[in-house]
A and B are shown apart, each in its own frame.
Chain A
Amino acid sequence: MSEQGAEQQPAGVSRRRLFGWLGAGTAGVVAAGATGGLIGRSTAQEPASSGAPAADDAIPFAGEHQAGIVTPAQDRLHFVSFDVTTDDRNELVGMLKAWTDAARRMTAGRDAGPVGAVDGGRYSPPDDTGEAIGLPASGLTLTIGFGPTLFTTADGTDRFGLAARRPAPLVELPAFAGDQIQPAISGGDLCIQACANDPQVAVHAVRNLVRLGAGVVSVRWSQLGFGRTSSTSTGQATPRNLFGFKDGTNNLKAEASSALDDFVWVAGADSGADWLAGGSYLVTRRIRMLIEPWDTAHLHEQETIIGRAKGSGAPLGQREEFDPVDLTKQVDGEFAIPETSHVFLANPTNSGTALLRRGYSFVDGSDGLGRLDAGLFFIAYQRDPATGFVQVQRNLRTDAMNEYLRHTSSAVFACPPGVRDDDDWWGRSLFGS
C-alpha cells in the first residue's frame, strides 16, 4: 500500500462516529466505562522487573484456571489440533484421563509415563520417548480445548452425548474479509497448546500425548511457534513480531485481575457455562505475513500502518512505549495515529473489547516461490468469541496492515477450568466423573 493511502482519511468513518458507536454500547461483556478503565490501567503500567518465573522452573499444573493462559508467555509453542476418531465415549474419557496424568508429570519435569524413558523392561517400548531426559521443566504448560465439532460433528451427529452441553458461544468463527482459510489446517475436535522455554520440551510433550492418543484421536494439524509475540505479564519485556514491531504492549496482563474476569474467564452465569466456568475460549489464526513486500515498505509507511514507532514502540505522537495511546492527538493537522492503522482499529477504545493475546511467530520454511512462509500464529483467549476476537477482527476490516496479511487457518475451542487436584482430569466437568 502507498504512503498516500495510509494517510488518507477513510471515507465515511469519523472519529466522532467511532466514539459514538462505542458509547452507544457494545454488545456483550464490555461497557464503555470498563474499557476506559482498562486502558488506563494497562497502559499506565511500567514493566516491572520481577514476577516472571525463571525459564527452567515448573509451572503448577493444577489450579482454578488452566495454566498456559495468563502464565507469563513462554518462548516456544507447539500447538496441535486433533480429530477424535473413536465413537466410544469411554475410550475418549480414558484418553483424557491418561493425558491428564501424563501432562501432570511432564509439566513437573518428569517422564510422560509412570515407568519412564529408560527404566522399563528391555523388550517393552518405553512409556516416554526420551528426548527430554535431563532437561528441566522449562516452564512447560499444557492447555486443552474442546472444539465445536466435539459436541456435534459437521454432519450433525452427537457422537458422545454432548450436543446439549455445547455452550452457545462455541461456534465456528464467521468468515472475515480477505480470509484464505484452508480447511485441512483449521478446526478440530480437541486441541493442546504446549508452551515452554525450550522447544524440545514442548515438542516432547506433544509427541507423547499424540502417542497416548493412538486409536482415539488423530492429529489434524499442528503448528510450531517461536518468539512469543505478546507479553502476558507486566514482568515481561514486549517482544517484536516478524514485522519488526513490538507486539502486545497493550495486551491484557495477568496482573489485571478484574480485566481478566471481564474479558477472559467465563463466569458461572454465562451462557452454557455450567462446566466451563473458570475456563476461557481460545481462538487461533495462522496469519501469514507477506514478508518481502513488507520489508521494502519504507519506515514511515510501516509505522503509519502499525500506529507505533518501530524503534521505541511508542504510540505515534508519544515518546515511550507505555505512554497512553491518544487517538485524538494531532500532529501538523493530521491525526498522529491514522484511522487505518492497526493500533487505532484494534485498540480497546475502538474495538470496544479486549483480548488476551498469546501468539507466536512461525517460519515454516519457504514457499515454492522462495518466499518466507512466515507470520504470526495468533492465539487469543476471551470470555466470548463473539464479543472478543470476532468483534475485534470485524473492526479490522479497514486495517491498512491487511494488505500484508493472509489468514490461512482458523479454529475455536472452549478451554475448561483448571484441574483441581491429583484425582481431577481434563474434561471432568464436561463428561462427568
Chain B
Amino acid sequence: MSLRDRRLVVVPALALVLLFNGCGSDDGDGGGGSAAAADTIPVASSDDACDVGASELSAGTHEFEVTNGGSTTTEFYVYAEGDRVMAEVENIAPGLTRPLLVELPAGTYETVCKPGMIGDGIRNELTVTGAAEQLSEVESLARAAGDYQRYVRSQTGALIDRTTAFVDAVKAGDIDGAKALYPVARTYWERIEPVAESFGDLDPLIDGREGDQADGEDFTGFHRIEKALWETGDVSDMGPYADNLLADVRRIVELADETTLAPLQLANGAKALLDEVATGKITGEEERYSRTDLWDFAANLEGSQAAVQALRPFLVEADPDLVAELDQRFAAAEADLGQYRAGDGWLLHDQLTQAQLKGLSDSITALTESVSKVAGVVADK
C-alpha cells in the first residue's frame, strides 16, 4: 500500500450501491440478475486439457460447472475480446466442482482453464448468437462498475480461502507450508488493492510495512508474519497476529464485495496498481523479507488490467487507438514478466539482475503512460 494511492482512490465518496444481487454461486457471480440458469455446461479441467461442454450458446444466462480433475489448483474464465473477464471462478482445488453463472450477450468469447493458476491457460472459442447488444457510450460506462465488481467478488472468495489456509499453517507452526501459502494469499489481495485501499483504516492493519506505523501502533498483518517466517523462522508468538489478519481480511472482503467503483475510480485504480509495481515491487520494497515481490507484481498487473478491461467496451468506442496501445503494452508487460516464472510461481526479487529489473521497469513505465490516459477519456463523457 502507499499513501498516495489511497488518496487517489478515495477522493470521490465511494458509492455503496448494490447494482447486482448475489446469484447464488459461491465465487462466480454472473451478474446477470436472472433468477436461474437456462442450462448447465460441464467443464472438465485437467493438467493439460480444458473440455467445455459447448462451443456455441444462445445469448442469455448460462451456468458452467467446473470440475478439476487435475493435480493442481485451477481457475476457469470466460473472456471477451482483449481478455476482458466476463466471469471467472478461482481456486478450484483438485477433485472439486464449482459453479459459475454468467450472462453473455451475443459475441465471440474464449473459455479458459488455468491449471496451476498461471499463464495464458488452455483456451477454447465460444460463440454466442442472438441479438447483439447495442450500448451507448454512457451505457457501457455505467456497466463498467458492475463488471469490475464481478471481478472483485471472484477474487475475494479466494482471498479468504487462501488467507485462512495461510493463517492455519502459521498457527500450526508449519513454517514451510506458511511460506508457500504466503505469496498465493497475497496474490488475491494485490489484485484488488484499488478496492481494498479505499478502506483506509483496514488496509494498514493488513498490509502495512514495518516503519509505517504511528507512535504506539503495532506492526501487524501480512508483513508482520512475513518477517517472523523469513527472519527468525519462529512463529510461536504469531497466533494473535494470524487471527487478527484473518478477521481484518474478512471485514474488508465484506465491504469490498458491496463496493462499486465509479469509472474514474477504476481508471485511477488501474494506474495506482502500476505505480505500486513501479515504486514497491520493482524496487523490492514490498516483500523485504520473503523477496516474493514478483508475485505481487503479477497480481498488480492483472488487477490493473481487470480494471481497464471493465472500461474496455466504452474505450473501444471512445478511443480505439488507446485501446490498441493498451492491449499491446499490457501484452508486452506480461511477456516481459513471464520470463521470470518459476514453476507455479515466480523467481525471487534478488534472483533478477539489475538489467532484468530495468527491462521490467521500462515495460511498466510505458504501460503507465498509456493507462494514465484512460481517466481523461472517461472524464470527457
Contact = CB atoms under 8 A, between A and B. Distances in A.
A214 B366 contact: yes
B375 A124 contact: yes
Contacts of B368: 214
Contact of A215 (B329, B375, B376): B329
A94 to B, nearest CB: 11
Interface residues of B, number: 20
Interface string B350-381: 00000000110010011111101101101110
B264 interface: yes
B369 A121 contact: no
Contacts of B358: 218
Contacts of A124: 373, 375-376, 379
Contacts of A85: 359, 362
A214 B376 CA distance: 19
Interface in A42-98: 85
B369 A215 contact: yes
Interface in B161-218: none
B369 A123 contact: no
Nearest to A212: B369
Given A85-B362, A214-B365, A218-B362, A125 B373 contact: yes
Nearest to B325: A215
Interface residues of A, number: 12
Contacts of A122: 379
B262 to A, nearest CB: 12
Contacts of A120: 376
A215 B366 contact: yes
Contacts of B373: 124-125
Interface string A214-258: 111010000000000000000000000000000000000000000
Interface string A112-125: 00000000111111
A276 to B, nearest CB: 29
A211 interface: yes
Contacts of A215: 329, 332, 362, 365-367, 369-370
A325 B378 CA distance: 69
A121 B329 contact: no
A373 B375 CA distance: 44
Nearest to B366: A215
B365 A123 contact: no
A124 B378 CA distance: 10
Nearest to B271: A125
Interface in A122-168: 122-125
Which of B267, B358, B359, B378 has most chain A Cβ within 10 Å? B358
Contacts of B362: 85, 214-215, 218
Given A215-B329, A218-B358, A121 B376 contact: yes
A122 B370 CA distance: 17
A149 to B, nearest CB: 15
A49 to B, nearest CB: 47
A211 B372 CA distance: 12
Given A215-B329, A218-B358, A121 B366 contact: no
A122 B369 CA distance: 16
A120 B379 CA distance: 12
A123 B379 CA distance: 6
Given A215-B329, A218-B358, A123 B376 contact: yes
Nearest to B355: A184
Contact of A121 (B267, B367, B370, B380): B380
B204 to A, nearest CB: 27
A90 to B, nearest CB: 12
Interface in B217-276: 264, 267
B308 to A, nearest CB: 15
A122 B366 CA distance: 21
A216 B363 CA distance: 10
Contacts of B365: 214-215
A391 B372 CA distance: 50
B372 A121 contact: no
A289 to B, nearest CB: 28
Contacts of B375: 123-124
B366 A123 contact: no
A123 B378 CA distance: 9
A171 to B, nearest CB: 24
A125 B372 CA distance: 7
* In the complex, the 4 A-B pairs of residues with the closest C-beta atoms, listed nearest first: A215-B366, A124-B376, A123-B379, A123-B375
Interface of B: 264, 267, 329, 332, 358-359, 362, 365-370, 372-373, 375-376, 378-380
23 contacts: A85-B359, A121-B376, A121-B379, A122-B379, A123-B264, A123-B375, A123-B378, A124-B373, A124-B379, A125-B372, A214-B362, A214-B365, A214-B366, A214-B369, A215-B329, A215-B362, A215-B365, A215-B366, A215-B369, A215-B370, A216-B366, A218-B358, A218-B362
Given A214-B365, A215-B332, A215-B369, 15 more contacts: A85-B362, A120-B376, A121-B380, A123-B264, A123-B267, A123-B376, A123-B378, A124-B375, A125-B372, A125-B376, A211-B369, A214-B366, A215-B329, A215-B366, A218-B362
